[in-house]
Amino acid sequence: MVARAVLQAPDITRALTRIAHEIVEQSKGADDLVLLGIPTRGVVLARRLHAILAEIAPGAAEVGALDVTMYRDDLSRQPTRAPAPTQIPAAGIDGRTVVLVDDVLYSGRTIRAALDALSDLGRPTAVRLAVLVDRGHRELPIRADFVGKNLPSSTSERINVHLTEIDERDEVTIE
């Protein structure tokens, strides 16, 4: 099957900008926000969101990474992989609003693992979820608070997210 681009670079930038504004609006400011990207591309997106937030609502938003490999429930069905680093800002997550950031929301299992990981790290006031693409087919009752684009897809299709920092271009394709 041939890959078809559904989001190009400008679309991605616009989506992230909109998400940043939505986050600010819902949280009534950027104070006490911790953006935690889920490796690998979630971390890239979290950093971009953080940069945008710094411009539109200067405040105390912080950014980090949350690796969830150790909390997955489907480890035995996948090849063993080395976890990526988890970097929580020094002030921690207690009493703050955590915004989990990932590239694609699909079954929801990654986010469930992220919630378990967060509960071992502290007690945030609230946890929100921002994703670039929501492709449906949830297996758990998880939903995103902020969505870049809804992409209904069939389970036989593959959605690939490419980001310049890793893949040398910004593009989301479906094949």
Partner 1 sequence: MRHLLSTADLAREEAIVLLDTAEDMADVADREVKKLPTLRGRTVVNLFFEDSTRTRVSFEVAAKRLSADVINFAAKGSSVSKGESLKDTAQTLAAMGADAVVIRHSASGAAQVLAGSGWIDAAVVNAGDGTHEHPTQALLDAFTIRRRLHGAGSRGRDLDGVTVTIVGDVLHSRVARSNLWLLTALGASVRFVAPATLLPIGIGAWPVETLHDLDVAIDDAPDVLMMLRIQTERMHAAFFPNEREYAREWGLDDARLGRLPATTMVMHPGPMNRGLEISSAAADSAASTVLEQVANGVSIRMSVLYHLLAATGEAS
**Contacting residues toward partner 1, per CB under 8 A:** 67, 70-71, 75-83, 85-86, 116, 120-122
CB of 145 to partner 1, least distance (A): 25
Which C-beta is closer to partner 1: that of 76 or that of 154? Answer: 76
Which C-beta is closer to partner 1: that of 83 or that of 136? Answer: 83
CB of 116 to partner 1, least distance (A): 7
* Contact criterion met (CB below 8 Å) for 5 and 172: yes
Q: Give the up-direction half-sphere exposure of residue 18: CA atoms within 13 A in the CB hemisphere.
A: 13
For residue 134, the one-letter residue type is D
What is the residue-wise DSSP string for 26-67?
A: HHTSSTTEEEEEPTTHHHHHHHHHHHHHHHHS-S--EEEE--
Which C-beta is closer to partner 1: that of 27 or that of 110? Answer: 110
Nearest Cα neighbor of 113 from 165, 155, 69 is: 69
Which C-beta is closer to partner 1: that of 86 or that of 173? Answer: 86
CB of 123 to partner 1, least distance (A): 10
The CA-based angle 124-84-169, given to 5 degrees, is 100
CB of 86 to partner 1, least distance (A): 7
